[in-house]
A = this chain, B = another copy of it.
Amino acid sequence: MPEDSTHTPTMVTCTAPVNIAVIKYWGKRDKDIILPVNSSLSVTLHQDQLKTTTTVACCRDFVEDRIWLNGKEEDINQPRLQSCLREIRRLARKRRSDEYSTVDVSVLSYKVHICSNNNFPTAAGLASSAAGYACLVYTLAKLFGVEGELSCVARQGSGSACRSMYGGFVQWKMGEREDGKDSLAEQVEPETHWPELRVLVLVVSADKKAVGSTSGMQTSVETSCLLKYRADSVVPGRMDEMISAIRKRDFAAFAELTMKDSNQFHATCLDTYPPIFYLNDVSRRVINLVHRYNCHYGETRVAYTFDAGPNAVIYTLQNHVSEFVQVVRHFFPTTSNGGQFLKGLPVPSATISDDLKNAIGMEPLPKGISYIISTKAGPGPCVEEDSNHHLLGSDGLPKKTV
């Protein structure tokens, strides 16, 4: 019995990437529409390793907006979700009066079902909200036929989500306006610009969840005088330096500034009252290891950066990645040989010299790092053309197979 087409959900599925900042975003000057106290810059990671997939369906029969995240239904009334839904619908209605509207406007009055999954475990401690909101906004826009600048909408879901709207190297310009219209992400260079750049996510075995970034950055804005100084007087120069290092593919400059900016972000967390700690003893060992590794070679071959958690993200170049992975294996030996220590892009095996081991000179720490995700820079959000990949079934509910 064929269904009446108006009762069949209209459905779009898209994917969006994680991004890792090299000039950090920490602190809002406007909490409601999420305007930052400083500009920031990130590398978009490849979706082959880390991505969010989101299906949005709309149908005249849906009685309410609903959302499922990683298999669990969540509250659709969260203010930031509502901001994104409202903004996209507003842009779609505005577009309706424009010339090339191909969208059935009735769709805009329908309720939506949203289903979103990550291809990486939450335990990886990667900020999934950036990929999540970028994917939501991108998918809603495709469903409603909204084109053009969308980072401004994603920003209102989660600040750093605006940077996940583009591939490669992306800056979030803080802007000056009170309405946030100039607080946007822009691609600095596409992912093809620097193919040798490689990324390793070192997933640290953490005991428990630290202070969340939303409340943490607010406390920092209110209490850390060093954060204010950083935002006003340090970051503007660093943005210029970072863009220049990326344009020139100057790895040493890129790496050193990345490390300094990660450290300065964590310094402002420590200057917060009460202080916020995201780095733990394993994080600090990774930091020391990287500096000793670089020192041994007399050049900066590897950089670390840490977000609001103990996991290290390593930037390095193609020709150093296999040795550095072996260094990590040596100094953070796994006890279970069963589990896969290295996930993602293959890395050739390598041996490391005793000279190098001695230069690093640390006691190996078993189980400090759970596993490594090997990846690289990648493109921005994409439409998933294969309808088999929809996360929602024709009944508008999450497929059981997920």
Which residues of A line the B interface, CB within 8 A? 225-226, 229-230, 233-234, 256, 259-260, 263-264, 266-268, 270-275, 277, 280-281, 284, 287, 291
Contacts and interface: CB of A to CB of B under 8 A. Distances in A.
A52 to B, nearest CB: 32
Contacts of A256: 273
Contacts of A259: 273-274
Nearest to A363: B207
Contact of A226 (B230, B273, B280, B287): B230
Contact of A267 (B267, B284, B291): B267
Contacts of A260: 271, 273
Nearest to A274: B291
A225 B259 CA distance: 14
Contact of A263 (B229, B264, B273): B273
Contacts of A281: 280-281
Contacts of A264: 226, 270-271
17 contacts: A225-B234, A226-B234, A226-B267, A226-B271, A256-B273, A260-B271, A260-B273, A263-B270, A263-B272, A263-B275, A264-B270, A264-B271, A270-B270, A274-B287, A277-B287, A280-B284, A281-B281
Nearest to A292: B274
- Most B CB contacts (10 A, CB to CB) among A234, A263, A266 go to A263
Given A226-B229, A230-B226, A281-B280, A266 B274 contact: no
Given A226-B267, A229-B229, 14 more contacts: A225-B233, A225-B234, A259-B274, A260-B271, A263-B270, A263-B273, A263-B275, A266-B270, A267-B268, A267-B270, A277-B284, A277-B287, A280-B284, A281-B281
Nearest to A226: B226
A356 B229 CA distance: 37
A31 to B, nearest CB: 23
A294 to B, nearest CB: 9
Contacts of A268: 267
Contacts of A225: 233-234
A274 B294 CA distance: 11
Contacts of A273: 256, 259-260, 263
A288 to B, nearest CB: 8
Contacts of A267: 226, 267-268, 270-271
Contacts of A263: 270-273, 275
A113 to B, nearest CB: 39
Nearest to A277: B284
Contacts of A274: 259, 287, 291
A260 B272 CA distance: 8
Please list the 10 inter-chain residue pairs (A to B) with the smallest Cβ-Cβ separation, ordered nearest first. A267-B267, A267-B271, A267-B270, A274-B291, A263-B275, A229-B229, A281-B281, A226-B226, A264-B271, A277-B284
A229 B256 CA distance: 21
A38 to B, nearest CB: 14
A229 B224 CA distance: 12
Contacts of A270: 263-264, 266-267, 270
Contacts of A284: 277, 280
- Most B CB contacts (10 A, CB to CB) among A229, A275, A280 go to A275
Contacts of A272: 263
A228 to B, nearest CB: 10
Contacts of A226: 226, 229-230, 234, 264, 267, 271
Contacts of A287: 274-275, 277
Nearest to A262: B275
A287 B272 CA distance: 13
